[in-house]
Amino acid sequence: MRMFAIFFFVLLGTFIIDQSIKSLFVDGYYRAGECIDLVLHYNKGVAFSMFASLGIYLKWIQAMLVAIIFYVVLKEGYIKRYAFPIGLLLGGALGNVYDRFVHEGVVDYVAWHCGFNYAVFNFADVAIDIAVVWLLIMLFFFSEDEKIT
């Protein structure tokens, strides 16, 4: 039960932080910088706007993928070992899927333009990236028998 609480509160916290930051940019916040601009962008696709041509279907595909991941995580008991990173992963994923239904695109706001001008991302993307790296480290460097605290 403790691990489920960790999972739930990390997921909820990630979602709330993500949506709170995004609301600042939807309401008009803007800040230009030398290498990074904090400016509102709506991404109609996935990473680097791929699959934007799927239009309205993309949000339903992503919602189904998140639901399947959620189901597998709960059914297979992965929360017992990976509560925190899975909470980060699903909290970020839900934040981005929520954007697709409310804003018709993911709200991105960190525009990195040192060396290239096409990387725009948000807090949810960072949470998902951290979760994936965390999970990979746990899978490859810690055995199932080791207790992680």
Q: In this predicted model, what pLDDT tens digit does every residue of 51-68 receive, in sequence order?
A: 777 878 889 999 999 999
Q: Is residue 107 part of a domain?
A: yes
How many structural domains are present in the chain? Answer: 1
- Does residue 99 sit within a domain? yes
Residue 24 counted as domain residue: yes
In a domain, 149, yes or no: no
What separation, in Å, do the N-terminal and C-terminal C-alpha atoms of the chain show? Answer: 15
Q: Catalytic: which of 18, 99, 108, 129?
A: 108
More confident residue, 17 or 139: 17
Domain that holds residue 53: 2-141
Amino acid 148: pLDDT: 53
- pTM metric for this prediction: 0.88
State the Cα–Cα distance between residues 85 and 140, nearest whole angstrom: 15
Q: Is residue 148 part of a domain?
A: no
Asked whether residue 47 is domain-assigned, the answer is yes
Q: What average pLDDT does the segment 115-139 reach?
A: 91
In a domain, residue 80? The reply is yes
27 is catalytic: no
pLDDT over 90 (residue 110): yes
Residues 6+ apart with CB under 8 A from 85: 130, 131, 132, 134, 135, 138
* Interval 6-55: pLDDT, tens: 999 999 999 999 999 999 999 999 999 888 999 999 988 777 667 777 87
Active-site annotation holds for 108: yes
Residues 79, 135 contacting (CB under 8 angstroms):
no
Q: Which of 27, 99, 125, 145 is catalytic?
A: 125
